[in-house]
Amino acid sequence: MSLEMIIGIEVHAELNTKSKIFCTCSTAFGGEANSKVCPVCSGQPGSLPKLNEAVVECAVKLGLVLGCTINRNCKFDRKNYFYPDLPKAYQISQLYFPICTDGKLEIDINGSKKSIGIREIHIEEDAGKLIHAPSENGTYIDYNRAGVPLLEIVTNPDFRSAQEVVAFIERLRETMLYLEICDCKMQEGSLRADVNLSIREQGNELGTRTETKNMNSLRAISRAIEYERERQLEIINGNGKVVQQTRRWDEDKSKSFPMRSKENAQDYRYFPEPDLQPLEISEERLNEIRKNIPELAQEKRGRYMSEYGISSHAAGIICASKNMAGLFEELAQKSKEPVEAANLITGELMRLINNFNADMDTLTIDVDKLAFLIYLVVNGKINRGVYKDIVGEVFTNNVDPEKYIAEKGLLVVSDDDAIIAAVNEALSKNSAAVGDFAAGKEKAFTFLMGQAMKSLGGKGDPVSVKRVLLKVLNEKNSCE
Amino acid sequence: MFELNALELSQAIREKKLTVVEVVSAYLDAVKKIDEKINAFLCINAEYALSKAREIQKKLDAGEELSKLAGVPIAIKDNISTKGFKTTCASKILDGFEPIYDATVIEKLEAAGLIIIGKLNMDEFAMGGSSETGAFGAVRNPWDISRVAGGSSGGSAAAVAAGALPLSLGTDTGGSIRQPCAFCGVSGIKPTYGAISRYGLVAYASSLDQIGPIGRSIEECAALLEIISGEDNKDATCVMQKPFAFTERFKNKLNGIKIGLPTNYFEKGIDNGVKNAVLAAAKTFKEAGASVIEFNMPFTEYMVPSYYIIASAEASSNLSRYDGVKYGYRSKNAVTLNEVYRMSRNEGFGLEVKRRIMLGSFVLSSGYYDAYYKKASDARSLIKSAYEKLFEQFDMILSPVAPTTAYKLGENIDDPMKMYMGDIYTVSINLAGLPALSIPCGFDEQGLPVGLQLTGNAYSEATLINAAREYQSITDWHTKKPGDVI
């Protein structure tokens, strides 16, 4: 008997619109409890929802990018259930006519591509948060998050491994970051995924599935999948039956625990939301949104390689963050040296980002200064070592490279008199090496070159130093 | 002062013959006396009203126009959110609840210079047709205080009928403005769905609820309707852009107006007193130049059932927020979360509300949705298109408002089916989202007022109001007042 694991996931993405989905309260994360609430999002008697059109735009953008059918006449429904974090005791969602259906997203698994089907994307509102205070034997409610817009992205049961799930979420995350519709911070809960998992004999009908919730990192998702796979396999191998249930992942205990089973599953009594008109999206508006879809990571990577001639590896590093890609494009354009720009970003800048634990997605740096430094190094005005140092200075202290170089006298010395003097000094101090060179030892030349550069304080133009050194040595040899 | 209608009263104020404070004080006194007998008010805020009166007087003195109802006192049905007044929906579950915001209609009233003096009694959460289901006692009919005022806007109609106020606001989900107006002998309008903002109207059935004016004459109601109508960016279902302006009148009286008369409405289950008065009114319309055309109203058997399925379904969801967690009543005996929900709601809601929440939850539950909610929605579509066809033939439909006149307090309260059938002439209009008005058209043999209903196509309020104006210019039913209440 050959068993296989089948997984489908539901991803909840909090949209980064300025205001909430049905009122004008801010969506900013955190803040004093209940400081971002109004009659609408706190469910006061008589208040009514008014749809934030920016939410529709986000949903359509993602739908288009994922190749979905955009349902131009979609509707909202009420999902009714009691819970203290849900102020109206119903969530406005979409059951019968979701905004997007039937899409796909391609993932890369060990070099081969796999397409994951998207069943639907629907719009809904988030709930508030409960803050338990065991010491007071009570619970507080914070409605700041209530009414924050969410997209729920539901996949087909197309995954066969945790690795595929992780790759999918990473791709989806990258896509949403490039579309700038979601912060995708799993720790803050702006991106969450529920995993539906079942096991079947290959080729047979789907087995009974469980749904695992409450994973707040990719690692947790991976572990929760492995845990659930083992748990179900153990039941099946012991001739038991998997029970359909919802389970809660406990990261500290590295285990999941049952929350509720099918028998006591809630009846959400969905029905069409009477407070909102059906949502109509005109052809015109659809085209407008389509036009505003930015270039995505995948496209950028390809273009960087063909247009700028940079390596696939470098393009991959740069495009991992939309911010870094933007920085690269600006620097390539301003310096007119795309390869040099790519090297600077993937090399020195990445090293600095790692050292200082900076955030790639929000990093700002003066690109004009970097472009100027590239100009200097490419044209031999400064040496590589000096270049790296100044990039670091710009990164940490935002120094003005021109002033900095002038103050510290870092420009390359290409004045022959100074170089001749330095070469002569090196030769007179190291007569043994001079002898070695005359005896045909190549290494002696490198050593003497180093000594001459040292006495020039590292600023000597290497080409000139080499030329002068060779000339002087040759003259010496021919004299003797 | 009490002889003046709302428009005359405002004119006297704007012509400096009366001050706003004088008027408001006089009406506050009247309310106090009258309300002991009819229990129309749930809350009166004299301090607030007087301070508003002074504020409006100042504005008028400074030459501000405000509106043709500036300075007129008004009271509001207690399911409309008001910052200065408790808003309880006549329910124990919201006993003492003070809203943190004003409904859009309240903002509009205050901008127009009307003075809100209190909140009016009703059926709990507007569920009922007799204003007996509220937690704070039944409203009594000023024509006979042993009888009901009708409902659910019973307080709104009774207060105006008794002369405690020139105007009030009610709400109408299945007849809740029109039927109490008929029972109390006053005029009222249920506007087209989408003409008035519902923002701040505590929802009973969202797809049916509308706020509307109540006054002695249709002229006063029309003036108030102009003020409260028009687009509101807080209510997605309020789609009428500009407020109403009922300036144009019929040029040729009722000549050329085609009125449909549904003969099957008069066949059974209707009191003779009601039948006679309404048919007499039809004759009056005809004599005044209108053509009255008889027809059979289709789908009458679907009206009440589909209304109660849809209204209860929406109510079961709308009333879920009263859970003892955020505001309102919380059971003192509750310990666990489930107890907070179960006990607070069990102790906080009255019988009729519970009945509808259970009915609504049932028709939406998995396995029953298609058989009930879906079917009712289909019936609703049929009714809607039937009306559309009828209004290709007629300018309006003339019908009774209710099959009976005001019945005795307690007479029907234990018979929900009888109570629900009392809504037979009104509910279909809410299902179709149409405008309708209710005006007095006579008395039955017991001396109780009878009302007639004019129903029109969507946004045809001006036509209905003009027809009612003509009727009220040749009849005096709307000027009759109950005898010994004041």
CATH number for the domain running over B6-249+460-479? 3.90.1300.10
Tell me which H or E stretch contains B216: none
Question: What mean pLDDT comes out for the span B398-424?
Answer: 92
Residue A158 confidence (pLDDT): 97
Task: Tell me if chain A has a CB within 8 Å of the CB of B316.
Answer: yes
> Is residue B4 predicted with pLDDT exceeding 50?
yes
User: Percent of chain A having pLDDT more than 90?
Assistant: 72
User: Using an 8 Å Cβ cutoff, are B202 and B87 in contact?
Assistant: yes
What is the spatial distance between Cα B426 and Cα B134, in angstroms, rounded to a whole number? 21
Q: Of B191, B251, B229, which Cα lies nearest the Cα of B67? A: B229
Please report the residues numbered 48 through 77 in chain A whose beta carbons come closer than 8 angstroms to any beta carbon of chain B.
48-51
pLDDT digits (tens, 9 = 90+) for B42-74: 999 999 999 999 999 999 999 998 999 999 999
User: Which of B107-116, B360-369, B412-421 has the weakest average pLDDT?
Assistant: B412-421
* Residues of chain B positioned with their CB less than 8 A from the CB of A51: 236
Six-digit token pair at A305?
């390689």
Chains A, B: CB contacts under 8 A, how many? Answer: 102
| 3-class SS string, A92-111 | EECCCCCCEEEEEEEEEECC
DSSP state of A146: T
Under the banding of pLDDT at 50, 70 and 90, the label for residue B16 is: very high
How far are the Cα atoms of B10, B72, B450 from residue B2, in angstroms, in the given order?
A: 12, 12, 24
> Is residue B419 predicted with pLDDT exceeding 90?
no
Closest CA–CA distance from residue A241 to any residue of chain B (Å): 26
Residue A16 confidence (pLDDT): 95
Helix (H/G/I), strand (E/B), else coil: B410: coil
pLDDT digits (tens, 9 = 90+) for A118-150: 999 999 999 999 999 888 888 999 999 999 999
Helix (H/G/I), strand (E/B), else coil: B401: coil
Q: Position B232: which residue type?
A: D
Task: Tell me if chain B has a CB within 8 Å of the CB of A298.
Answer: no
Please report the residues numbered 229 through 288 in chain A whose beta carbons come closer than 8 angstroms to any beta carbon of chain B.
267, 269-271, 274-277
Residue A124 confidence (pLDDT): 97
Q: Position A114: which residue type?
A: K
User: Which of A60-69, A463-472, B21-30, B445-454 has the weakest average pLDDT?
Assistant: A463-472
DSSP state of B45: -
**Whose structure tokens read 């309707």?**
B225
Task: Tell me if chain B has a CB within 8 Å of the CB of A138.
Answer: no
Angle between helices B154-161 and B20-38 (to 10 degrees): 110
Angle between helices B461-474 and B272-287 (to 10 degrees): 90
* Residues of chain B positioned with their CB less than 8 A from the CB of A276: 236-237
Question: What mean pLDDT comes out for the span A346-357?
Answer: 94
Chain-chain contact of A50 with B202 (C-beta, under 8 angstroms): no
* Residues of chain B positioned with their CB less than 8 A from the CB of A82: 320, 323, 341
Identify how many contiguous H helices and E strands chain B contains and give both numbers: 15, 13
Residue B220 confidence (pLDDT): 98
Residue A437 confidence (pLDDT): 83
pLDDT digits (tens, 9 = 90+) for A33-58: 999 999 999 999 999 999 999 999 99
Of A88, A269, A276, the CB nearest to B236: A276
> Is residue A261 predicted with pLDDT exceeding 80?
no
Best to test chain B binding among A52, A55, A82 (most B CBs inside 10 Å): A82
Domain ranges of chain B: 6-249+460-479
Under the banding of pLDDT at 50, 70 and 90, the label for residue B486 is: very low
User: Percent of chain B having pLDDT more than 70?
Assistant: 99
Residue B244 confidence (pLDDT): 97
Task: Tell me if chain B has a CB within 8 Å of the CB of A87.
Answer: yes
Task: Tell me if chain A has a CB within 8 Å of the CB of B200.
Answer: yes
**Whose structure tokens read 């819970």?**
A83
pLDDT digits (tens, 9 = 90+) for B182-229: 999 999 999 999 999 999 999 999 999 999 999 999 999 999 999 999
Identify how many contiguous H helices and E strands chain A contains and give both numbers: 16, 16
Of A44, A269, A274, the CB nearest to B206: A274
Closest CA–CA distance from residue B314 to any residue of chain A (Å): 8
Q: Position B65: which residue type?
A: E
> Is residue A214 predicted with pLDDT exceeding 90?
no
Residue A137 confidence (pLDDT): 83
Q: Position B474: which residue type?
A: I
Mean pLDDT for chain A?
92
Q: Position A423: which residue type?
A: V
pLDDT digits (tens, 9 = 90+) for B92-151: 999 999 999 999 999 999 999 999 999 999 999 999 999 999 999 999 999 999 999 999
Helix (H/G/I), strand (E/B), else coil: B33: helix
pLDDT digits (tens, 9 = 90+) for A151-208: 999 999 999 999 999 999 999 999 999 999 999 999 888 999 999 999 999 888 999 9
Task: Tell me if chain B has a CB within 8 Å of the CB of A122.
Answer: no
Six-digit token pair at A478?
């021919």
Mean pLDDT for chain B?
96
Best to test chain B binding among A19, A37, A47 (most B CBs inside 10 Å): A47
Pick the residue from chain B with its C-alpha nearest to A91.
B317
Under the banding of pLDDT at 50, 70 and 90, the label for residue B383 is: very high
**Whose structure tokens read 């900095």?**
A404
Tell me the torsion sign for CA atoms B58, B168, B36, B1. Answer: positive
Q: What is chain B's percent helix, strand, coil content, to nearest 5?
A: 40, 15, 45
pLDDT digits (tens, 9 = 90+) for B441-480: 999 999 999 999 999 999 999 999 999 999 999 999 999 9
Return phi, psi of residue B262, to 5°: -75, 100
What is the spatial distance between Cα A192 and Cα A186, in angstroms, rounded to a whole number? 6
> Is residue B407 predicted with pLDDT exceeding 70?
yes
Task: Tell me if chain A has a CB within 8 Å of the CB of B209.
Answer: no
Which residues of B carry out catalysis?
77, 152, 176
Domains with residue ranges and CATH for chain A: 3-286 (no CATH), 297-408 (no CATH), 416-479 (1.10.10.410)
Residue A264 confidence (pLDDT): 66
Question: What mean pLDDT comes out for the span A272-297?
Answer: 95
Question: What mean pLDDT comes out for the span A435-462?
Answer: 83
What is the spatial distance between Cα B48 and Cα B58, in angstroms, rounded to a whole number? 16
DSSP string, A34-47: TSS--TTTTT-TT-
Closest CA–CA distance from residue A158 to any residue of chain B (Å): 28
Question: What mean pLDDT comes out for the span A296-302?
Answer: 93
What is the spatial distance between Cα A321 and Cα A340, in angstroms, rounded to a whole number? 19
Q: Of B56, B55, B47, B167, which Cα lies nearest the Cα of B113? A: B56
Six-digit token pair at A116?
């994951």
Chain-chain contact of B321 with A89 (C-beta, under 8 angstroms): yes
